[in-house]
A = this chain, B = another copy of it.
């Protein structure tokens, strides 16, 4: 069966979001074991002008949601950035996993020969087809937030390794 836009997007993002949820479980367990206020980790940043953990997780979820919506041509549900606990962040991820999994390969692959426009601070940017949008923006942007959330928690001392990121173990 031919590899498709769907194969390169939805299953990979769902898998990584599941792993991110497990990473948050390990962060919560670390906070409990070390008697650290979970808010300390949820508000931690790698640099003063980077997003904190909550915004990194919200952005990873939004990146997957927007990718599914733009490739399928659907309007995504709106999710307010109100999460302040590990459980709330995991619920946000779960909502986006359910949304992403609601699409069929046919719905996603419909953008193979359709342009996709995204807003920017200046002029909207037009990708000539779904593949360009996915590989030049959606995938790099998604992984930026997942990996930054991971790195930020590693920097805070959470016991996670690359196998947690790659495979949820």
Number of copies: 2
Q: Is A107 an interface residue (CB 8 A)?
A: no
Known contacts A140-B165, A147-B147, A166-B137; A3/B155 CB under 8 A = no
A9-46 contacts to B (CB < 8 Å): 11-12, 15-16, 46
Task: Please report the total number of A residues contacting B with Cβ < 8 Å.
Answer: 37
In angstroms, how far is the closest chain B Cβ from the Cβ of A133?
Answer: 11
- Ranked nearest first, the 7 interchain pairs of A and B with the lowest CB-CB distance are A143-B143, A147-B147, A12-B135, A8-B8, A3-B131, A47-B154, A151-B151
- Which residue numbers of A lie inside 8 Å of B, CB to CB? 2-5, 7-8, 11-12, 15-16, 46-47, 50, 109, 112, 130-131, 134-137, 139-141, 143-144, 147-148, 150-152, 154-155, 157, 162, 165-166
Q: What are 19 A-B pairs with beta-carbon distances under 8 A?
A: A2-B112, A3-B8, A3-B109, A7-B135, A8-B131, A8-B135, A15-B135, A15-B136, A46-B154, A47-B157, A50-B151, A139-B143, A143-B147, A144-B147, A144-B162, A147-B147, A147-B151, A148-B151, A155-B155
Known contacts A8-B135, A135-B11, A148-B147; A46/B155 CB under 8 A = yes
